[in-house]
């Protein structure tokens, strides 16, 4: 079945550093890909999404490009802030599975001032 694998955390960076969180997927169909963020004590928020190959999703300075050839959807940000500290989840959904979200395990990001 479909699955998502993302890099293990925690990832610890200094403020203004460049961020990459890797995410790869396996899917039988043509899934949509997502990054969700979960701040401490809060619910899951959709950060960005991409629905087809070569699409780039972006929001709040974060970007991710849907790479079909490498089955990847890596999350990047050029200059992180302390307020970006959270858990980031990569996920996919597919029409064949009624759009239920399939999730990675999450990557905890810690930004130090």
Partner 1 sequence: DTGVSQNPRHKITKRGQNVTFRCDPISEHNRLYWYRQTLGQGPEFLTYFQNEAQLEKSRLLSDRFSAERPKGSFSTLEIQRTEQGDSAMYLCASSYLSRADTQYFGPGTRLTVL
Q: Which of these ranges, 21-29, 43-51, 67-75, 76-84, lies near partner 1 under the rule CB under 8 A?
A: 43-51
Residue 3: CB atoms within 10 A of its CB come to 12
| Short-list 12, 71, 16, 60, CA closest to 36 | 60
Q: Which is nearer to partner 1, 36 or 111 (CB)?
A: 36
Neighbours of 73 (CB within 10 A): 29
* CA distances for 96 relative to 70, 73, 106, angstroms: 21, 20, 24
- Told to check if 105 binds partner 1 by CB under 8 A, we report yes
Contact 3, 12 (CB under 8 A): no
For residues 33 and 107, give the distance between their C-alpha atoms in angstroms, rounded to a whole number: 16
Residue closer to partner 1 by CB (options 11, 44) is: 44
Q: Please pick, from the candidates 21, 49, 62, 86, the single residue that binds partner 1 as defined by CB under 8 A.
A: 49
- Minimum CB separation of residue 42 from partner 1 in Å reads 7
Q: Minimal distance in Å, beta carbon 79 to partner 1?
A: 27
**Contacting positions for partner 1 (CB under 8 A):** 4, 32, 36, 42-46, 49, 51, 89, 91, 93, 95, 98-106
């Amino acid at each position: 079945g479909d699955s998502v694998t993302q890099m293990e955390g925690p990832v610890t960076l200094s403020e203004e550093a460049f961020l990459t969180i890797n995410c790869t997927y396996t899917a039988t169909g043509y899934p949509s890909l997502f990054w969700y963020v979960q701040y401490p004590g809060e619910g899951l928020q959709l950060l960005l999404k991409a629905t087809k190959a070569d699409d780039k999703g972006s929001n709040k300075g974060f970007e991710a490009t849907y790479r079909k050839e490498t089955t990847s959807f890596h999350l990047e940000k050029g200059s992180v802030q302390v307020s970006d500290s959270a858990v980031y989840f990569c996920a996919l959904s597919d029409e064949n599975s009624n759009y239920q979200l399939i999730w990675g395990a999450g990557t905890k990001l810690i930004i130090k001032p």
